[in-house]
Chain A
Amino acid sequence: MEAIKAEIVVVGAGPGGYVAAFYAADKGKKVVLVDRDKRLGGVCLNAGCIPSKALLHATGMIREAEASQARGISFGAPKIQLDKLRAWKDSVLDKLGQGLSGLSQKRGVQVLQGRGHFEDSQNLRVETSEGQKFVHFEKAIIAVGSRPAMPAAFDLGNPRVMTSTEALELEEIPRNLLVVGGGYIGMELGTVYATLGSSVAMVEALSSTLVGIDSDLVRPVMRFAEKAFKEIRLNTKVVKMATSGKQIKVTLAVDGKQIEESYDRVLVSVGRAPNCKDLGLENTKVTLDDKGFVQVNAQRQTADPNIYAIGDVAGGALLAHKASKEAKIAVEAIAGEASSFDGVVIPAVVFTDPEVAWCGLTEVEAKEKGIKVEVARFPWAASGRALTLDRTDGLTKLIIEPETERLLGVGIVGHGAGELIGEGVLAVQMGATARDIAESVHPHPTLSETLMECAEAFYGTSPHTAPRKKS
């Protein structure tokens, strides 16, 4: 059989893979894009960012309506039509999926549906529904992403034990739900189910949830979760799970004791594992790190000079926009352009209630690395806009390099923090100083003012906070 010839083959069509394929095609390359799923878009579109944010938005309305009562506007109890909610969410995915197909056609990107397997450093075998196909490539970009980690002890083959993928399918609203793992995915999906009416319990093996994020940014989220969830158990480990009739019996270890509890459903959100298995990487020179992620350099080239890796499979921040940025860097490197991931600022957003967002250096990281910083904070209780929104549960802070007053990082918790962080990214990436932010006029009354006022607070001149004590 004649092999398909490609200048670049991209394996995996998530936000890493399809961006790489499109960008390479825009640069005049002959590109083949391979994904085992019919709908392009990867985890992000099919079982990640998009469906989770759709559900968070839709269910957020319930809480908004509830809070509205205290402001004199009541709607009565919400009626939830689960089928309709699911259909709406699915229609969003369909629309975006069709968009991607159309865009790849317009660019002349050849899409192969099937599982890819490297035969060597220049040939990829693709198992399609019409049998095997072979792609002979000059360069390959691995963008196969990651999947939910499922410890063998929890893998009962019982649909009541879910990962994020199944939880987003929204099969039913369980009476009670156990969320195992207090990372951002557990927090977000726990919020969705709690709002829909499930009694949600969360267990976390470590001493706090949302580990790694500055504690002042996490606090408002915890205050919400403590109310919305039935309970949050820290320092608690799930030892065992077993099917027991229509429930799952869970054995928990707390303080050296073991307790047993039963739940209608369990969501396991204990992290993600790279999709490196059965990819034929052993036939190439690609190397993996000790966690199984593909090792890459600043150009996202692997130890095999013909092969690049981007997105979740290359480790680092497991975020869609990181994957897309790496896609551009890898394609530019392949095209012989100067390009590097060094110095790229990657923001992160947790879509809880309220949202948490940050970019650049965090306080936790500054402490770990021994970097001396000054931190300016502006609590939203002092923001007129936050009051009019009835959302004073927020905080904006700037992490500043003392000698130069340069912004090294921005952290925000509060309503719409995800939208606000864009300004932070621009500022940090541009090398802006606190003075630059303080002197840029922000519209009133908006939450974006909190960034400006925070910078002003750094100089002790914010009109809405107490003057800075002169020491």
Chain B
Amino acid sequence: MDIRVPRLAEGVESATVANILVAEGATIERDQVVLELETEKAVGPIPSPGAGKVAKIHVKSGDQVQVGQVLISVTVEGAADQAKKEEPARASVKSSAIAAAQAAAPVRENAAAPGADAHRYESRSGFPPPAAPSVRKIAQELGIDLTRVKGSERGGRIALQDLKAYIAALQEAAAAPAPSRETPPPAAKGVDFSKWGPVEKKRMSALRRTVAQRMVESWTTIPHITQMDEADITNLLALMKKYGPRFEKKGTHLTFTPLAMKAAAAALKKYPIFNSSFDEATGEIIYKRYYHLGVAVDTDAGLIVPVVRDVDQKTIFSLSLELNTLVERTRQRKVSLEELQGGTFSISNQGGIGGGHFTPIVNKPEVAVLGLGRAALKPLVKDKKTETRMMLPLALSYDHRVIDGANAVRFVRELIQALENFSENELKEWRG
């Protein structure tokens, strides 16, 4: 049995080996995590699909690996072994087909691969590329996207030969030295800080490097403006106090973030430009008809932004349930790459730690981000009378290429309205 790099996520074909958790010769159980892979923003555990003994580890920590590549070979013992013996014909047919399709060298779906990038299957009927179910299955197992494989048969049908040729092209490209992906930052290179006192050097983790790279990209390509305001959440806090115990009874914790998400989703619906993306290549603005909100989570390794889908369609209760486990899994770095993609707007709530107004950075390719500080009692003058109210600092950063200041004010006003007049009914729905 081989443990391979699984399909990571839409459009993500490579990862870095972060940790190897077993040694050659070790006995492992089914579902035991044997290795961790780091991709863009998350570390994903790779469990073993069966029990056995680690025969060979083909990679080392820090290696760049590709979808379908063999990571660890495991000799299977006992029951599973028996099952194998009982149907040798079937098993060997299948594995030989895959072996034929994939040689020992790693597979890399890289834009530079000859013929690999050239082709993109598109059917006006919206059908997947024509291929026999047997070929489709092999592609699925290797995590290969058949729309990139050029079919040589009638009507563009992909034969096993075509798949093999595609893989061979990928391997050739992988064998060539990879073009350096990022220019190293011109940091304080060469300065010897130890001249002035004791220092400690630590290698930046892959995650930290990715965060750094994305921040630079966002900061340098997006003209940022931050709109600041405050919302009176005195009433909302009272509602939270009232419903908090009921949520506890139903097994979850009621926090402020789901309420802010719900309010933001309503404002996004009213001002769809804040839920859009800007395609720099085509000059198009892409409006999204779904409301997937990223939530910034502070982890030991750095900032990670998992995405909660269809916020507009969920109850506060189900958002709370989902968010609480999502945050927990993010902190343990168990979220999948899929869960980090597809966001349309992000929220960064610093209220839990403290803090006032700040200037969040837009999470590209989104166009706006909402930063929340900690609410505090403040005097508020209303009808010439001064009251003390709980005021929440709001900061909305946005991409000024797409959004103008007047719109930002409207959006923030809408948000404040939503928070100040939050409907109690929303807290009464227990629908999962």
B156 within 8 A of A: yes
A401 within 8 A of B: yes
What CA separation (Å) do A28 and B86 show in the bound complex? 11
In the complex, what residues of A have CB within 8 A of residue B131's CB?
Answer: 431
> Smallest distance from the beta carbon of A290 to chain B beta carbons, Å?
12
B84 and chain A: residue at smallest CB distance: A28
B49 within 8 A of A: yes
A336 within 8 A of B: yes
> Smallest distance from the beta carbon of B144 to chain A beta carbons, Å?
10
B176 within 8 A of A: no
In the complex, what residues of B have CB within 8 A of residue A303's CB?
Answer: 432
What CA separation (Å) do A284 and B155 show in the bound complex? 46
> Chain A 139-151, CB within 8 Å of chain B: the 1/0 string?
0000000000000
**Is A28 touching B83 in the complex (CB atoms < 8 A)?**
yes
Given A431-B130, A431-B132, the answer on whether A408 and B125 have CB atoms closer than 8 Å is yes
Mark the stretch among A14-22, A183-191, A369-377 that contacts chain B: A369-377
What CA separation (Å) do A403 and B140 show in the bound complex? 26
> Chain B 37-64, CB within 8 Å of chain A: the 1/0 string?
0000000000101000000000000000
What CA separation (Å) do A132 and B123 show in the bound complex? 54
**Is A361 touching B79 in the complex (CB atoms < 8 A)?**
no
B190 within 8 A of A: no
Within 8 A of B (CB), among A28-43: 28
Neighbour of A337 across the interface among B123, B141, B157, CB < 8 A: B141
Within 8 A of A (CB), among B400-432: 432
**Is B49 touching A429 in the complex (CB atoms < 8 A)?**
no
B154 within 8 A of A: yes
**Is A343 touching B125 in the complex (CB atoms < 8 A)?**
no
What CA separation (Å) do A335 and B7 show in the bound complex? 15
In the complex, what residues of B have CB within 8 A of residue A282's CB?
Answer: 432
A92 within 8 A of B: no
A285 within 8 A of B: yes
A436 within 8 A of B: yes
In the complex, what residues of A have CB within 8 A of residue B82's CB?
Answer: 28
In the complex, what residues of B have CB within 8 A of residue A430's CB?
Answer: 130, 132-133, 157
> Smallest distance from the beta carbon of A326 to chain B beta carbons, Å?
15
Residue of A369, A406, A431 most packed against chain B (CB within 10 A): A431
Within 8 A of B (CB), among A307-342: 335-340, 342
B128 within 8 A of A: yes
In the complex, what residues of B have CB within 8 A of residue A27's CB?
Answer: 83
> Smallest distance from the beta carbon of A429 to chain B beta carbons, Å?
6
**Is B140 touching A339 in the complex (CB atoms < 8 A)?**
yes
**Is A371 touching B124 in the complex (CB atoms < 8 A)?**
yes
Neighbour of B126 across the interface among A371, A431, A432, A435, CB < 8 A: A371
> Chain A 405-437, CB within 8 Å of chain B: the 1/0 string?
110100000000000000000000111110110
Neighbour of B130 across the interface among A287, A335, A406, A435, CB < 8 A: A406
**Is A401 touching B132 in the complex (CB atoms < 8 A)?**
no
B216 within 8 A of A: no
In the complex, what residues of A have CB within 8 A of residue B136's CB?
Answer: 343
B82 and chain A: residue at smallest CB distance: A28
What CA separation (Å) do A28 and B268 show in the bound complex? 50
Given A285-B432, A431-B155, the answer on whether A371 and B130 have CB atoms closer than 8 Å is no
B196 within 8 A of A: no
A207 within 8 A of B: no
**Is B432 touching A287 in the complex (CB atoms < 8 A)?**
yes
A429 and chain B: residue at smallest CB distance: B133
> Chain B 7-50, CB within 8 Å of chain A: the 1/0 string?
10000000000000000000000000000000000000001010
What CA separation (Å) do A401 and B121 show in the bound complex? 14
What CA separation (Å) do A373 and B432 show in the bound complex? 42
What CA separation (Å) do A404 and B132 show in the bound complex? 16
Neighbour of A433 across the interface among B7, B129, B140, B154, CB < 8 A: B154
**Is B7 touching A338 in the complex (CB atoms < 8 A)?**
yes
**Is B155 touching A405 in the complex (CB atoms < 8 A)?**
yes
What CA separation (Å) do A337 and B141 show in the bound complex? 7
Given A406-B155, A408-B127, the answer on whether A28 and B432 have CB atoms closer than 8 Å is no
> Smallest distance from the beta carbon of A437 to chain B beta carbons, Å?
11
**Is B125 touching A436 in the complex (CB atoms < 8 A)?**
no
In the complex, what residues of B have CB within 8 A of residue A401's CB?
Answer: 123-125, 127
What CA separation (Å) do A408 and B432 show in the bound complex? 39
> Smallest distance from the beta carbon of B6 to chain A beta carbons, Å?
8
Within 8 A of B (CB), among A349-403: 361, 366, 369, 371-373, 401, 403
What CA separation (Å) do A366 and B125 show in the bound complex? 8
**Is B125 touching A28 in the complex (CB atoms < 8 A)?**
no
Within 8 A of A (CB), among B118-158: 123-133, 136-137, 140-141, 143, 154-158
A337 and chain B: residue at smallest CB distance: B141
> Smallest distance from the beta carbon of B151 to chain A beta carbons, Å?
8
B80 within 8 A of A: yes
In the complex, what residues of A have CB within 8 A of residue B140's CB?
Answer: 338-340
**Is B141 touching A338 in the complex (CB atoms < 8 A)?**
yes
What CA separation (Å) do A372 and B126 show in the bound complex? 11
B153 and chain A: residue at smallest CB distance: A431
**Is A28 touching B132 in the complex (CB atoms < 8 A)?**
no
**Is A336 touching B123 in the complex (CB atoms < 8 A)?**
no
A439 and chain B: residue at smallest CB distance: B154
In the complex, what residues of B have CB within 8 A of residue A433's CB?
Answer: 154-155, 157
**Is B124 touching A342 in the complex (CB atoms < 8 A)?**
no
Given A27-B83, A28-B80, A335-B49, the answer on whether A343 and B128 have CB atoms closer than 8 Å is yes
What CA separation (Å) do A436 and B156 show in the bound complex? 12
What CA separation (Å) do A171 and B129 show in the bound complex? 51
B126 and chain A: residue at smallest CB distance: A371
> Smallest distance from the beta carbon of B431 to chain A beta carbons, Å?
9
Residue pairs across A and B with Cβ atoms less than 8 A apart, 24 shown, are A28-B80, A287-B432, A335-B49, A336-B49, A338-B7, A340-B140, A343-B127, A361-B125, A371-B124, A372-B125, A373-B125, A401-B127, A404-B130, A404-B156, A406-B130, A408-B127, A429-B133, A430-B133, A430-B157, A431-B129, A432-B155, A433-B157, A435-B155, A436-B155
What would 20 more interface pairs be, CB under 8 Å, given A28-B82, A287-B432, A405-B155?
Answer: A27-B83, A28-B80, A303-B432, A337-B141, A339-B140, A343-B127, A343-B136, A361-B125, A369-B126, A372-B124, A401-B123, A406-B155, A429-B133, A430-B157, A431-B131, A431-B132, A431-B157, A435-B155, A436-B154, A436-B155
Kindly list the 9 A-B residue pairs having the minimum CB-CB distance in the complex, ordered from nearest.
Answer: A431-B130, A336-B49, A433-B155, A338-B140, A28-B83, A404-B155, A406-B155, A431-B157, A343-B128
